[in-house]
Amino acid sequence: MALCLKQIAISGGTGFVGRALLTRLAVSQRIAVTAWVRAIPSQPLVTIQYLKQNVLESDDLLQGMMADLDVVIHAAARVHIMQDTSTDPLNDFRRVNVEGSLNLARHAANAGVRRFVFISSIKVNGECTKLGDSFSADDAPSPLDSYGVSKMEAENGLRDIAADTGMEVVIIRPPLVYGPGVKANFQTMMRWLSRGVPLPLGAINNKRSLVALDNLVDLIVTCIDHPAATNQTFLVSDGEDLSTTQLLRRMGQAMGKPARLIPVPPALLKAGAALVGKPELAQRLCGSLQVDISKTRELLGWSPPISVDEGLRRAAEGFRREAAV
């Protein structure tokens, strides 16, 4: 879809999703893009205006920063981490993901911003699905951790702001996002594969939805100006669900490092994880989490532009580049 906007601002412009989104939008000749960041990057994109501002925790300059904007894309957040050391994680998530997001949205609405695109999380739906079942965008929320609760509360507050002010709100809930520069568990998986480490994950028959970074960015760009996106919630994925075993094998192929997988029964993996106090790890490895993107396809006429294998290839290229530095 052709972009016909004058001004777009993106929070979290130095984050994993924000950087990729800025790179995509930087080549546009029809819009001006501003990145709101905590620190100016050492290698900024030449066509992007960077503003150093903590948009999540401070009111300073916010109203002035909104002047003449058409769209705000809110990608900044306090993200979910596996070993959170906070004494009150829910309060910390609420302060940034709820209070910060709603404060930003209120300023946007007051300044006449037309559309607010919020990057949420599939954790609003829940943590797992039965094999063969899938979450849909209009399911009743069922978050189970503090991060998911904070994203749900932010979504609810944004819908209230939209109803009160007329500012359009678009919500996107991605599952696990992977691509060049990915960190956390996905990076650890690639590191294991690159080293040829034998993994006891050769007999897992679950199904999980993932989304390549480029596919997520493409949907966000689609939602900037698509009329059917107004006040809607969308799920996103690559359109092909994989088991943990399939993911490892295809990631290994993308890296040129065939996966060395040992077929250990999932019940033993779950028991072992419980013994070492990490049952959530077994859930991620052995459980299913599938999303239904039919609403996204039908309302927006959108399909993932790249395949799972192409997404994995790009992630592998990024891993090799980082390893070479």
- From the number of C-beta atoms within 10 Å of its C-beta (0-12, 13-18, 19+), residue 169 rates as buried
pLDDT for 62: 75
The CATH code that applies to domain 7-180+210-240+290-307 is 3.40.50.720
In this predicted model, what pLDDT tens digit does every residue of 176-192 receive, in sequence order? 999 999 998 999 999 99
Find tokens 């412009």 and name the residue: 13
Mean pLDDT: which of 31-35, 53-57, 206-210 is highest?
206-210
Q: Has residue 1 got a pLDDT over 60?
A: no
> Is the CB of residue 233 less than 8 Å from the CB of residue 173?
yes
Closest CA to 238 of 213, 210, 206, 219: 210
Told to judge if 178 belongs to the known catalytic residues of this protein, a careful annotator would answer no
User: Between 213-225 and 16-25, two packed helices, what is the crossing angle to 10 degrees?
Assistant: 60
In this predicted model, what pLDDT tens digit does every residue of 147-168 receive, in sequence order? 999 999 999 999 999 999 999 9
Cα gap 201→24, rounded to integer Å: 36
Helix (H) / strand (E) element for 211: namely strand 210-212
In this predicted model, what pLDDT tens digit does every residue of 114-143 receive, in sequence order? 999 999 999 999 999 998 899 999 999 999
Q: Has residue 282 got a pLDDT over 90?
A: no
In this predicted model, what pLDDT tens digit does every residue of 91-111 receive, in sequence order? 889 998 999 999 999 999 999
Q: Has residue 81 got a pLDDT over 90?
A: no
Beta strands, E only, 110-160: 115-119
Q: Has residue 2 got a pLDDT over 50?
A: no
The whole-chain average pLDDT of the chain stands at: 91
CA distances from 8 to 25, 74, 108, 224, 255 (A): 9, 11, 12, 9, 36
**Of residues 147, 178, 186, 192, which has the active-site annotation?**
147
pLDDT tier, 83 (very low <50, low <70, confident <90, very high otherwise)? low
The domain limits of the chain are: 7-180+210-240+290-307, 184-205+243-286
What is the model's pTM? 0.93
pLDDT for 3: 45
In this predicted model, what pLDDT tens digit does every residue of 13-50 receive, in sequence order? 889 999 999 999 988 778 889 999 888 888 888 888 88
